[in-house]
């Protein structure tokens, strides 16, 4: 009986630490870094870079997410969406979470230095600090443009993957970063409209709180148009072929339709549905990039 209770307890602790790393967000980031790696080369990606490079990026992203839980623990406790988080409820102490974050970041950087190259490691460190320190520590409470500027850190993984393989920055991965950069505002502001009251209660200056829902919906629409245009660029610069172009058009048209529905206020739950669609959009767009890449190679 005592061992059974002990096992449940250790499972609960394990789950709390996993939650600190925002695992679902990191998995989608890993898909984008994997695509960055595969698109970087016509030959195969060395398996050490594939495994340890992505593991390194994931550990650093998870470490940054754990710092976010520490810094935001008081506002997380105020919002319904986040009040059950391990630090908000006091199940994990700030000191333990920071130690965990530091261990993840050090392990991640060590893997990147050992199995990829210094540039990949330093760019990953810059993304980590961009999210954990610049966005979480300053921008989030300072300006409604917080997620636009902070979005750069979350958009970095395709570049990190590319650089892990090649050792240098080039135009193609920057285009992939630009796609995620343009995607972040519709992704987040749709959720922020849905959760507007909570952000107001926590005194966080998210765009729907500071400038109202109408203004935010107009900006979601504008960024979605920009996203659709930017998402066609891989075809324009001959980085991707017709399969990708077709997918980008179909996926982008659907995103634009959701943004329009949200703007018009013609359907209930449009904000949360736009948010959910944004995640499917990014996932499918990057899968399309990958499939297209291998089709082009085999033609």
- 169 by Cβ neighbours in 10 Å (0-12 / 13-18 / 19+) ranks as middle
Site for ligand FPP (CB under 6 A): which residue of 45, 64, 66, 177? 64
Stretches 110-118, 148-156, 215-223, 273-281: which one binds ligand FPP (CB under 6 A)?
Answer: 148-156
Q: Cα dihedral sign for 178, 24, 93, 74?
A: positive
Q: How far is the CB of 74 from ligand FPP (least distance, A)?
A: 12
154 binds ligand FPP (CB under 6 A): yes
Site for ligand HEM (CB under 6 A): which residue of 13, 17, 25, 98? 25
The answer to whether the CB of 182 falls within 8 A of the CB of 221 is no
The answer to whether the CB of 153 falls within 8 A of the CB of 28 is no
- Residue closer to ligand FPP by CB (options 139, 247) is 139
Angstrom distance (rounded) from CA 176 to CA 156: 9
Here the tokens at position 190 are 């749709």
Site for ligand FPP (CB under 6 A): which residue of 32, 54, 82, 278? 82
Give which of ligand FPP, ligand HEM, none residue 32 binds (C-beta under 5 to 8 Å, depending on kind).
ligand HEM
Q: How far is the CB of 237 from ligand HEM (least distance, A)?
A: 22
Crossing angle (nearest 10°) for helices 54-71 and 118-129: 20
Q: Which residue has the tokens 């961009």?
A: 130
> Which residues 32-61 are close enough to bind ligand FPP by CB under 6 A?
60-61
209 binds ligand FPP (CB under 6 A): no
């Amino acid at each position: 009986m005592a061992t059974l209770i002990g096992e449940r307890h250790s499972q609960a602790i394990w789950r709390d630490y996993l939650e600190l790393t925002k695992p679902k967000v990191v998995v989608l980031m890993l898909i984008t870094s994997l695509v960055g790696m595969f698109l970087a080369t016509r030959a195969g990606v060395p398996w050490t870079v594939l495994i340890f490079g992505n593991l390194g990026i994931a550990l650093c992203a998870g470490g940054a997410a754990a710092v976010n839980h520490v810094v935001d623990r008081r506002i997380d406790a105020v919002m319904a969406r986040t009040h059950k988080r391990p630090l908000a409820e006091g199940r994990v102490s700030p000191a333990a979470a920071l130690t965990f974050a530091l261990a993840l970041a050090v392990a991640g950087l060590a893997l990147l230095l050992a199995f990829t190259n210094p540039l990949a490691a330093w760019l990953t460190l810059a993304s980590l600090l961009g999210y954990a320190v610049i966005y979480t520590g300053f921008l989030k409470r300072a300006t409604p443009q917080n997620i636009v500027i902070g979005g750069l850190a979350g958009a970095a993984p395709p570049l990190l993957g590319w650089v892990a393989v090649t050792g240098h920055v080039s135009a193609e991965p920057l285009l992939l970063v630009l796609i995620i950069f343009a995607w972040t505002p519709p992704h987040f502001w749709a959720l922020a409209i849905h959760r507007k009251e909570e952000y107001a209660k926590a005194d966080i200056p998210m765009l729907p709180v500071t400038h109202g829902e109408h203004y935010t919906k107009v900006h979601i629409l504008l960024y979605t148009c920009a996203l659709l245009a930017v998402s066609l660029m891989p075809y324009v610069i001959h980085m991707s072929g017709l399969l990708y172009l077709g997918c980008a058009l179909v996926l982008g048209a659907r995103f634009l339709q959701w943004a329009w529905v949200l703007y018009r206020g013609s359907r209930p739950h449009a904000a949360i549905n736009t948010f959910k669609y944004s995640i499917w959009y990014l996932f499918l767009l990057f899968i399309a990039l990958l499939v297209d890449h291998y089709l082009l190679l085999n033609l």
